[in-house]
Structure 1
Amino acid sequence: MDLRALLGLKALDDVQSALFVQPHPDDNEVGAGGTIAKLAAKGCRVVAVTVTDGRYGAVGAVDPADLARRRQEELVAACTALGIREHIELGFEDLGSYTEADVVEKLVPVLLDIRPEVVVTVDPWTPYEAHPDHVKTGRAVAECAIRLASLIVPQTPPAYVPLMFAFYASAYPNAAVDVTDYWPTKIRAIEAHESQFATPEWPALKAYLEFQAREAAKRFLGDGGDGRLAETFKLLSPRQLHFFPDAISS
């Protein structure tokens, strides 16, 4: 059985509109920067949402308010590098006491306004994911599917539920996007977040990201990867986000 065809799923880089929701400034770039750049270059409407202000994303003697301002500036630079023209900040405090329900409340109107074909975010079910902002963001995005498909969100016809949900940084990827031509753009966008990546560890991390991308290409793109680079995702239909235990292996 071709489950993807049955559920109406299609290639992630073949959509006309996409919403990328990240817990912090820089998560979209690390997890899906090449895909974002590829979609933007093809004329896809790409909208980015950042849930928190990233004010605690550092160690040492740094003022959180100053860091939040700096990260907002870096975010603008990264979006520009990727070709993102629309960006929304939800304004929650990094590592704050906001709830998953708070994120859902703010995301649902955004989804109803933009009506993207696919919503992309971090995978909250990846084993060992301990960051509460990642868990709350990923689960909130998934919960939006349930909310939009119920009477709890009043809708006038035609009712809207995203066609697909895609989760990056997933331990269970089932799809990949060839981002070979857009890898330098992804790296530039990541490096725009100087407060996070202008560190002695960055060269090793950059090498590891490329290693992951080459291994992903070998697994998903065929021909032994042929030297290409890929970003991976767990691509699911809204139907697979409720009462669908086989989703983990789909």
Structure 2
Amino acid sequence: MSLLDGQRSVLFVHAHPDDETISTGALIAEFVARGSRVFLLTCSRGERGEVVAGPLTALAGTVELARERERELDRATGILGITEKFWLGEPPARAAGLEIRRYRDSGMVWIRPGLAGPADDAAEDALSVAPLAEVTADIAALILRLRPSLVVSYDDGGGYGHPDHVRAHDAARAASSATGTAFAEVLETPAEGGEWFDLPEHFDLVTDALRAHASQLTVHGREIVHSGGQREPIGTSAGLRVQPRRVTPG
């Protein structure tokens, strides 16, 4: 039986707006097509994202960029068929008794092509420097509210090393363990112990959702062009690998 079969609901945990579409858009579309309810938890507004040259360029580094990225996420999730989306740190994705917290984009630096690392100027309220136990408790609160049959997030390297992706993985996996929920990491290439999915039938849908994130990327043919000029194919293939439970942080 495929991991895609029989999931009554799936919670995807992503660090920034557009991550859900770039790395898991086809998986989300396939779960929806198979009748699963799909929920999305986004951890930050991507406040430090670069902006594509054009009419939105002036938003870079401003408060309005976060608002624009919220609107872009609204459009993309509607296209993908996501049932409901949530922001980390806001109820119900906030541990009981704590005031609302807005986790900020931590930023990153390129270590080499394809591999990112932490920036040296992450703000005090950034996701990557927030206590892991607090982030875990917030995600666990949402899991307990939704009771998904599966939680999906990045692998332990955060896909390409972004510190917010790594923190999202660590906290989502710990929260899944604490709540007794199955957790699967996203694979970018086939790997031992994983299940691989080729889903070209969702290309048009994923492309439309990508276009919703107009501040961060443009679509040229079958490629994504990022704000920094990096190009990558529009992905419709991905893998999932279920991970064993971990001991939750104290």
The TM-score, its normalising length taken from structure 1, stands at 0.71
1:66-117 Cα deviation digits (max 9, x unpaired) = 1100000000000001001200011411111423222211100111111111
Aligned residue number for residue 147 of structure 2:
115
Matched, 1:33 2:39: no
Instruction: Name 1:65's counterpart in structure 2.
Output: 63
Structure 1 unaligned regions, length at least 5: 1-9, 149-160, 214-228, 243-250
Tell me which residue corresponds to 2:121. none
Change in CA separation of 1:12 and 1:205 when aligned onto 2, cut-off 3 Å = farther
TM-score by length of 2: 0.71
Cα gap change, 1:170 to 1:146, in 2 (>3 Å): farther
Tell me which of 230, 233, 242 is aligned to 1:209: 233
* AA aligned opposite 1:67: L
User: Retained in 1: the 8 A contact 2:143–2:176?
Assistant: no
Conservation of the 8 A alpha-carbon contact between 2:198 and 2:238: yes
Q: Identify if the C-alpha distance between structure 1 residues 119 and 204 changes in structure 2 by more than 3 Å, giving closer, same or farther.
A: closer
Cα distance per residue 1:116-168 (max 9 Å; x no partner): 111111113368x43211111111111113323xxxxxxxxxxxx11342334
Whether the aligned pair in 1 keeps the contact of 2:14 and 2:20 (CA below 8 Å) is yes
Please show how residues 130-209 of structure 1 align to structure 2 within 5 Å.
130-148=161-179, 161-169=180-188, 172=191, 174-198=194-218, 203=223, 205=225, 208-209=232-233
Give the whole-Å Cα distance in 2 for the aligned partners of 1:205 and 1:232.
23
Is the 1:120–1:168 contact (alpha carbons within 8 Å) kept by the matching residues of 2? no
Q: Is the partner of 1:39 in helix, strand or coil?
A: helix
Amino acid at match of 1:190: L
1:238 alignment counterpart: 244
**TM-aligned CA deviation for residue 201 of structure 1:** 11
Q: Is residue 88 of structure 2 the alignment partner of residue 86 of structure 1?
A: no
2: CA distance, partners of 1:141 / 1:114: 14
| Equivalent-residue separation in structure 1 for 2:61 and 2:224 (angstroms) | 27
C-alpha spacing 1:107/1:29, structure 2 compared with 1 (3 Å) = same
Paired with 2:154 and 2:65, the residues of 1 have a C-alpha distance of: 23
**Identity rate of aligned residues, in percent?**
28
Partner of 1:44: 36
Query: Equivalent residue for 1:104?
Result: 136
Q: Is the 8 A contact 1:12 1:177 kept in 2?
A: no
Q: Indicate the structure with greater helix content.
A: 1
SS in 1 for 2:137: helix
Q: Which residue identity lines up with residue 175 of structure 1 in the other structure? A: E
Structure 2 CA distance for aligned equivalents of residues 22 and 168 of structure 1 = 14
Q: Quick one: which amino acid aligns to residue 232 of structure 1?
A: G
Higher strand proportion, which one?
Answer: 2
Secondary structure at the counterpart of residue 186 of structure 2: strand
For the residues of structure 2 that align with 1:198 and 1:82, how far apart are their CA atoms? 18
Equivalents in 2 of 1:169, 1:27: separation in Å?
13
Shift of the alpha carbon at 1:56? 0.5
Give the alignment partner of residue 12 of structure 1, picking from 3, 7, 20: 3
Letter in 2 for 1:108: A
Max Rg structure = 1
Aligned to 2:117: none
CA distance in 1, matches of 2:130, 2:222: 31
